Structure 1
Amino acid sequence: MKICLISFDHWQYDAHIVDTLLKKGIDAYHINIGKYQHPTKLSRLKNTLSKIFLGINPKLELRQKFIISELKKRGFQDQILVINPELIDREYHLKIKSYTKRYIAYLYDSLARHPIDNLMEGVFDDIYSFDKDDIKSCHFKEANNYIYLDYVRHEDQHPNFDVCYLASFDKRISTMNRIAKKLEQLKKSYQFIIVGKKTWIKQLTKIGDNKSSVKYQIKRVEHAEILNYYLNAKVILDLVRDNQSGLSFRIFEAMALEKKIITDNEKIKYYDFYNPNNILVLNSEYIAIPKDFFETKYQKVPKDIYDKYTLDKWVESVFEI
């Protein structure tokens, strides 16, 4: 069987899907749109000038042509999966579809954040989503994010911080600051890493933030570093983006590392692994963080439930293998 994955692999999660397929003996290949580079310096210069003076980014078109050129090299595929299909124009989706028996999509984001109205009909054989609201309203197939990390017992870890939070620079900053103040009142240590191009503003001002515990940086956190940050904390903080109800990767990273979770995602209560001993769902004021949540021991997720959320099971379900 030949399977191709097409994605803009922002956080390097998608490569794990291909690795899992390869371990199953499947001929799998990843077309990572994010790694596309201009072939020459002149091409890069033309692209820059076009963005500045015409407001047009030719690289967006070139990336899509790159996908087709890669498929021509690889040949016909049994299945092709596109993650976050809104990054590709409909006409190119139809070209991609001609290279496979089964063309499917997985939505990492909610439709409220990234709509795909022009792709809902006549493009995909199946659309999978992690957002329960979208699944219900659009009749998508459900596929949660997955456990990709190796399992590590909490007994084998020696964290230095009570809470860790890794996230992009966005509206969640204000919520994060309120939680930080509460943690300080409880005398709990924390390490918050915020990433984004606009973080230079915070680097200059540091207004309202604990300088030693909140770090703003432009450079993206390398995928391999995520594990080290989380291993060094007892609890992982999870704050949901606006208009999103699906579970983030933080939830599944926490499960793999046997970490407790503090989250503002009410939907987590409807999952079979939900345990109030391990998962604290914040109220609307973000102040109800009981001290004893940090003092009780982590209760292991039953193996049969844990296994349902592994990448191995995800691959079997989405690709129907």
Structure 2
Amino acid sequence: MSHKTIILAMPPTNGLVELIEENLKFHGFKVLRVDSILQFKYKNLMERLCQFFYKQIYQSNRYKKQLKEKQSLSKAQKLLSNIQYEYTLVIRPDIFSEQVLTLLKKHTKRKLIGYQWDGLKRFPVKNIIHLFDQFFVFDNNDLTNPDYKHVQLKCTTNFYFDMIKPNKNHNKKLLAYYIGDHQACRVNAIEKCAEKLKENGINIKFIIPTSKTSDIKCYQSNHIIFGKINRLSYNDNLKNVNEADILVDFVIARHNGLSFRHFEALYFKKKLITTNKHIKSYDFYHPNNIFIWDGENLDNLNEFLNKPIVPISSHIVEKYSFKEWINGILEIEEI
């Protein structure tokens, strides 16, 4: 298998970058990660003092932002050296400065690809999108965002990691699994769902990885686990996915695209409870497998849980694999 070269630029969040790197290698890519350029450290006491006084006087972090951008550009120049790469994939481009993105483009022979997998309304890229050869979003609504009418956006979905193979779980009682950052818009639904599942005799593993007292006080349920100690790596998260019988997803109010949890449920053959009604338009939707919840009424939940999972065509399942995803956005015929 011939190696293709790619620069991977994305935040180093929860070990997700490591999994994407490993999946790229699994499919024949030689990968250069550049997330290390995002790590910031004051060089000396003078920089710390300047930031302190600048913030006190102007109530702004602009000085620190300038330091970060200068430092990340310097690191990127050393990391990239004089080497050219065939592709560059930038996930969450809003966290990289225009100078760094311009540098990445110079070191890319074929395509500089952007992917905003968290919605353009939450994390705008209006001032940097012109740098990309192609730009992908996961929310169809972003395609009609008036702020981006001058550029051609393309829509893609998230995916599942096909390098990891599912194993059969052997739970004596059904286990429901959810993990997600604290979002005020999801609190009520999370609590209602946890209580209803418990009423139906389901074991629960609901994790909100926060140790902030203000966040924790928002929840009244005793069935939720908190704390930074529970901020799992994504690899450990997938182990929990594999061990569970039911996956649960609570959509963020401003999102219409599907989270990773939907594709993991498809691949690992798990029941799914989701508040994202848009899943009904996807080709892998089946009411035996996926319970679309309005956030209020769970009267039919027990009936859903007692229905057998309906197998989905392998052709449809493979369509949402990492292999097909990376093949599609880079427009490579074979990997």
- Residue 299 of structure 1 and its aligned partner are, at CA, apart by 1.7
| TM-score of the pair, normalised by structure 1 | 0.86
Alignment of 1:119-134 (within 5 A): 119-120=128-129, 122-134=130-142
- Please list the CA deviations of residues 22-77 of structure 1 after superposition, one character each: whole Å capped at 9, or x if unmatched: 2343322111247625386869966985786464235632234323332226x122
Alignment of 1:211-222 (within 5 A): 213-219=223-229, 220-222=231-233
Letter in 2 for 1:106: Y
**Contact 1:4–1:79, Cα closer than 8 Å, also in 2:** yes
**Contact 2:175–2:202, Cα closer than 8 Å, also in 1:** yes
Letter in 1 for 2:274: T
Alignment of 1:31-180 (within 5 A): 31-33=34-36, 36=39, 38=41, 49=52, 53=56, 55-56=60-61, 57-58=64-65, 60-61=68-69, 62-72=71-81, 75-101=83-109, 102-120=111-129, 122-135=130-143, 137=145, 139-148=152-161, 150-152=164-166, 156-159=168-171, 160-171=173-184, 172-180=186-194
User: Who is 1:234 aligned against?
Assistant: 245
Alignment of 1:193-272 (within 5 A): 193-198=207-212, 200-201=213-214, 208-210=220-222, 213-219=223-229, 220-272=231-283
Letter in 1 for 2:117: Y
User: Who is 1:320 aligned against?
Assistant: 331
Distance 1:123 1:30 in 2: 19
Compare 64-73 and 253-262 and name the one that shifted more.
64-73
The CA RMSD measured in Å over matched residues stands at 2.7
Distance 2:245 2:54 in 1: 45
Change (3 A) 1:305 1:51: farther
Distance 2:329 2:128 in 1: 19
Paired residue secondary structure (2:33): strand
Distance 2:51 2:6 in 1: 35
Distance 1:234 1:116 in 2: 38
- Residue 141 of structure 1 and its aligned partner are, at CA, apart by 1.8
Change (3 A) 1:288 1:117: farther
- Please list the CA deviations of residues 155-182 of structure 1 after superposition, one character each: whole Å capped at 9, or x if unmatched: x211354311101011212220122232
Stretches of structure 2 lacking an aligned partner (at least 5 in a row):
none
Compare 170-179 and 143-152 and name the one that shifted more.
143-152
State the identity %.
Answer: 24
Find 2:307's aligned residue among 290, 296, 300. 296
**Contact 1:104–1:124, Cα closer than 8 Å, also in 2:** yes
**Contact 1:240–1:265, Cα closer than 8 Å, also in 2:** yes
Change (3 A) 1:158 1:116: same
**Contact 2:7–2:32, Cα closer than 8 Å, also in 1:** yes
Distance 2:226 2:16 in 1: 22
Distance 1:284 1:110 in 2: 22
Distance 1:51 1:252 in 2: 46
Paired residue secondary structure (1:117): coil
Change (3 A) 1:81 1:179: same
Letter in 2 for 1:182: K
User: Who is 2:23 aligned against?
Assistant: 20
Change (3 A) 1:309 1:164: same
Letter in 2 for 1:21: L
**Contact 1:175–1:286, Cα closer than 8 Å, also in 2:** no
Letter in 2 for 1:66: K
Distance 1:231 1:43 in 2: 50
Letter in 2 for 1:163: A
Compare 78-87 and 171-180 and name the one that shifted more.
171-180
Paired residue secondary structure (2:180): strand
Change (3 A) 1:140 1:178: same
Paired residue secondary structure (1:141): strand
**Contact 1:10–1:34, Cα closer than 8 Å, also in 2:** no
